[in-house]
Amino acid sequence: MTVGALQKHKISTIADLERLSHEGLRYELLSGELKAMSPINMAHGDVTNCVADYVMSFAIEHDLGRGFVGDLGVTISRDLDTVLAADWAFYLKERLPNPYSTGYTTVMPDIVLETRSPGDSKREIKREITRKGADVAGSGCKARVDCRSKGENADGLSSEHNTSNAHRE
């Protein structure tokens, strides 16, 4: 089934999202509507990884819990199906689902990290934080990290990341 056919027929369930995922297509499901997600760029992946490594070093040292990367799917609502993809999510040890879910988890993360990519506008970021902040209200902490560099080259790519722009929401 093609994405066009899905959008034309407005198929908007978790089962449809899982089928698209198995076909290698990346979407979030927002109140029954599919939202396409593009692959991340290297700067985005690098900054998300650096922040996750830093947090996980502390978490492992103090046996606090586990972190998850790769756009972890979190089911927020089943009324109108909503599944959001967190760049990185952390669960305290005592809240880890056991066994891990084979589908999208319904357990809200304790920390959610969203990384701002160089091409993201302020409006897009504000909308994303507002949407995910409201939808992941059960999360104890949300973080936003800006991976724009102090100086970007003509391609918009950067080799120096501004991780000082990490914010706790």
Per-residue pLDDT tens over the stretch 150-163: 433 333 333 333 33
Highest mean pLDDT among 32-46, 57-71, 108-122, 152-166: 57-71
Same domain, 80 and 114: yes
**Is the per-residue pLDDT at 102 higher than 80?**
yes
Same domain, 46 and 27: no
Strands 33-36 and 65-77, how do they pair? unpaired
Tokens 């509507």: give the residue: 33
Same domain, 15 and 71: no
Same domain, 26 and 7: yes
| Structure confidence at residue 54 (pLDDT) | 92
Helix (H) / strand (E) containing 141: strand 141-146
Give the CATH number of the domain where residue 74 resides.
3.90.1570.10
Does the CA dihedral 61-63-64-65 come out positive or negative? Answer: positive
If one counts the domains in the chain, the total is 2
Residue range of the domain that includes 96: 42-168
Same domain, 62 and 85: yes
Q: How far apart are CA 85 and CA 83, in angstroms?
A: 7
Secondary structure (3-state) at 115? strand
Position with higher pLDDT, 8 vs 98: 98
The b-or-e profile of 19-46 (16+ CB within 10 A means b, else e) is ebbeeeeebbbbeeebeeeeebeebbbb
Strands 141-146 and 111-116, how do they pair? parallel
| Structure confidence at residue 47 (pLDDT) | 87
| Structure confidence at residue 65 (pLDDT) | 95
